[in-house]
Amino acid sequence: MKNGLKIESLTPALPHPMGKGETVSASWQVRDGQLLNTLLGKTNFSRAVPSLVKWERVGGFPLILFALICLTFNGFCADTEYKLVRIETLTNAVRVRLPLTDVTGKVRVKEKSSEGFGRPVAPSKVSLGKKHYLEWQIGYDLTNTNSPSVVPEIRFLRNGETKYGHELSKMVLEAVRLGLISTNQLVREIEALKKVQPSEFEENQTVQVEISTNNAADGFQSAIQRLPQFTKTTPHGWVQIQLKQKQRAVGYQAMVYVCLPMNEVLTPDGSPRKSGSARFKETVYYDFTRANAAFLLDIIHAFGIASQQHNEDVRKILGKILETAGR
């Protein structure tokens, strides 16, 4: 049939209950537009009583499919929510919630190493303790307001494109609102960042490539690239700028990572997390309080010296925070 789908698995309304072995044959048609309703399980059954056996065979399939789609969608939403870095404001602290087992995401668990780059570990297989830390590729902006960690009031332009403050921006705004950071400290930071010279941006540091003079076996020549890393250590964690090869362009980009020692992270009730491997989809918390608010300024400063673009963005964000917090 060209414009309709013929389904022969539903029976019309019966005048009496069906007995054992009794069968009724009938045909039932889905008109244009009804197919979607059928798939969504919204079919109006008031005029037809399904024969259970046949209904399960054909009509049950779309329902099972629908249930599977719902379950998958639910799982997808739960996963997206789990991976989110959430920021909440407590009476005396800005609390950050981080996923512990999103090993391919922005927050990774690493074991400390002497050269400072750290070794990634499988969080559910290793007892996480003093030797471990979370390496968080913190963000400060987004192109939309679709995240709970966005601050729509912090809106700025980058090369003509509108950006909204995100993560670090929200943490700093909330820290100013709580009085953990003063507006004077922000003004001083803006002034300091204005003075950074182009040659001082870490992104402009030279990358050394050592090429060995001897040709290696089979005609291959070895070369070693040395990528610089800059670390500011505080008693409560450290912030790193790592130069990395750009993924879609020539040159290097400065990546900023906030490193939080595992012995400083908390459980949902705010108590210190005990050593142990990560539970399935475990989240941990880190509090910025009066004791470590200066660490937030170090993170801002890291962006400000990482590249010209970050410097400009961060100064705009701090300016907006001063306007917003003053209201």
Give the residues lining the site for ligand ADE (CB under 6 A): 137-140, 255-256
DSSP 37-85: HHHTT----TTEEE-HHHHHHTTHHHHHHHHHHHHHHHHHHHHHHHHPP
Q: Distance of CA 136 to CAs 18, 53, 105, Å? A: 65, 55, 9
Q: How far is the CB of 137 from ligand ADE (least distance, A)?
A: 5
Q: Compute the distance between CA of residue 52 and CA of residue 17 in angstroms, rounded to an integer.
A: 13
CB of 207 to ligand ADE, least distance (A): 17
> Between 60 and 139, whose beta carbon lies closer to ligand ADE?
139
- Report the alpha-carbon distance of residue 149 to residue 294 in Å, rounded: 21
> CA-to-CA distance for 291 and 277, rounded, in angstroms?
28
How far is 54 from 48, CA to CA, in rounded Å? 13
Nearer to ligand ADE, 85 or 178 (CB): 85
Cβ atoms of 202 and 302 within 8 Å: the answer is: no
- CA 241-243-248 angle, to 5 degrees, is 125
Work out how close the CB of 139 gets to ligand ADE at its nearest, in angstroms, rounded to a whole number. 4
CB of 195 to ligand ADE, least distance (A): 21
Using the minimum distance from each CB to ligand ADE, give the nearer residue, 165 or 261.
Answer: 165
* Minimum gap (Å) between residue 273 Cβ and ligand ADE: 24
Nearer to ligand ADE, 93 or 138 (CB): 138
Q: Nearer to ligand ADE by C-beta: 255 or 322?
A: 255
Residue closer to ligand ADE by CB (options 138, 321) is 138
What backbone torsions phi and psi does residue 121 show, to the nearest 5 degrees? Answer: -125, 160
